[in-house]
């Protein structure tokens, strides 16, 4: 028997995942690992935003702090200033857009929700980088993206020793999700944390384990766009990895991903539509 589609509550509106969703990335940073995603002026933000919405992005994810290894630290005030620049643009141009804010800082998350009505908090630290984050999200009553990571962006790649990476990550996320639910966070989206404290092989094991993550009955987000797990094995650069990103996102969707977080929206939207055609006509 087919299970009821998963849903999250966004300010009283239900978003259901009977069809996978595409999350488009806006990085308000000068040093994001993928140079073509960098938008550091209001005009550039507006152009990228308009383009992604025209291409039918379901969610816009805005980040103001690059978490690539070796990135320069950014103060909370500077991070908020960057996010506010983008959030103001979104709310003025497309006020009904579902917006996710990519931050691991509770104070920044609170200001984005209270000042700009950010809809979702996307926390790469999964609550490990700021002990106030979970209580803040519970108080704000917004959906929360719980990502798996060890250490910090500066130390994470030295912390890849797992007994069984899929089992360990699932156990960690399940434990944290239970604690979040107990605090009153109703809507939790889980992210295995591709590229964060994972080797290349471990990333692919986690990709193959998407059906296991889906058994947790929470939406599963896959964020692999232009990451090292794609371009390094192929001997190419991040800028050359658009086509293999699309291919790997298609595999993730086929395995059951509910959200794909991408730099290029149009090919992801087209992939979702084609997968829908395949499922309708094959029972897949």
Give the tens place of pLDDT for each residue, 198-229. 999 999 999 999 999 999 999 999 999 999 99
Q: Is residue 10 part of a domain?
A: no
Look at residue 203 and tell me if it is in a domain.
yes
Residue 246's pLDDT is what?
97
In a domain, 232, yes or no: yes
For residue 265, give the DSSP letter: H
- Residue owning tokens 């595999």: 251
- Beta-ladder partners of 25: 61
pLDDT digits (tens, 9 = 90+) for 135-192: 999 999 999 999 999 877 777 777 789 999 999 999 999 999 999 999 999 999 999 9
**250 found inside a domain:** yes
DSSP one-letter code for 164? S
Cβ-contact 145, 100 below 8 angstroms: yes
Residue 38 has a pLDDT of 60
Residue 216 lies in a domain: yes
Please report, for the domain that includes residue 136, its CATH number.
3.20.20.20
What whole-number distance in Å separates Cα of residue 76 and Cα of residue 271?
Answer: 37
* pLDDT for res 234: 97
Q: What is the DSSP string of 27-94?
A: E--S--SSGGGB--SHHHHHHHHHHHHHTT-SEEEEESS--STTPPP--HHHHHHHHHHHHHHHHHH-
Number of domains present in the structure of the chain: 1
Confidence of residue 62 (pLDDT cuts 50, 70, 90): very high
Which is more confident, 69 or 99?
Answer: 99
CA–CA separation, 60 vs 57, rounded Å?
7
Burial (Cβ within 10 Å: 0-12, 13-18, ≥19) of residue 157:
middle
For 56, the domain range is 22-278
Residue 13 domain-assigned (yes or no): no
- Lay out the sheet containing 59-63: strands in order across: 188-191, 144-147, 120-123, 99-102, 59-63, 21-27, 259-262, 221-222
Whose structure tokens read 């291409």? 55
Does 16 map to a domain? no
In a domain, 3, yes or no: no
Instruction: List pLDDT tens digits, range 103-123.
Output: 999 999 999 999 999 999 999
- The residues assigned a catalytic role are 227, 261
Question: Exposed e or buried b for every residue in 204-217, given b needs 16+ CB within 10 A?
Answer: bbbbebbebbbeee
pLDDT of residue 153: 73
């Amino acid at each position: 028997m087919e299970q009821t589609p998963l849903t999250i509550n966004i300010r009283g509106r239900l978003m259901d995942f009977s069809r996978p969703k595409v999350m488009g990335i806006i990085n308000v940073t000068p040093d994001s690992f993928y140079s073509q995603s960098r938008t550091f002026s209001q005009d550039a933000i507006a152009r990228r935003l308009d383009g992604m919405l025209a291409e039918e992005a379901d969610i816009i994810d805005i980040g103001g702090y690059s978490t690539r290894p070796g990135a320069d630290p950014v103060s909370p005030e500077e991070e908020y200033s960057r996010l506010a620049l983008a959030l103001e643009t979104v709310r003025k141009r497309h006020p009904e857009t579902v917006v996710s804010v990519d931050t691991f800082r509770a104070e920044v998350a609170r200001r984005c929700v209270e000042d700009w009505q950010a809809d979702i908090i996307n926390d790469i630290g999964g609550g490990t980088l700021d002990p106030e984050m979970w209580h803040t999200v519970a108080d704000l009553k917004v959906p929360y993206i719980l990502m798996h990571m060890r250490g910090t962006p500066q130390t994470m790649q030295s912390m890849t020793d797992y007994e069984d990476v899929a089992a360990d990550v699932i156990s960690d996320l399940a434990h944290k999700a239970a604690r979040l639910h107990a605090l009153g966070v109703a809507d939790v989206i889980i992210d295995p944390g591709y590229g964060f404290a994972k080797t290349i092989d471990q990333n692919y094991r986690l990709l193959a384990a998407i059906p296991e993550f889906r058994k947790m009955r929470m939406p599963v987000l896959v964020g692999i766009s232009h990451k090292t797990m794609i371009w390094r094995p192929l001997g190419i650069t991040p800028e050359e990895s658009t086509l293999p990103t699309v291919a790997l996102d298609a595999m993730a969707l086929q395995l059951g991903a509910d959200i794909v977080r991408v730099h290029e929206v149009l090919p992801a939207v087209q992939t979702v539509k084609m997968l829908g055609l395949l499922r309708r006509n094959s029972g897949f």
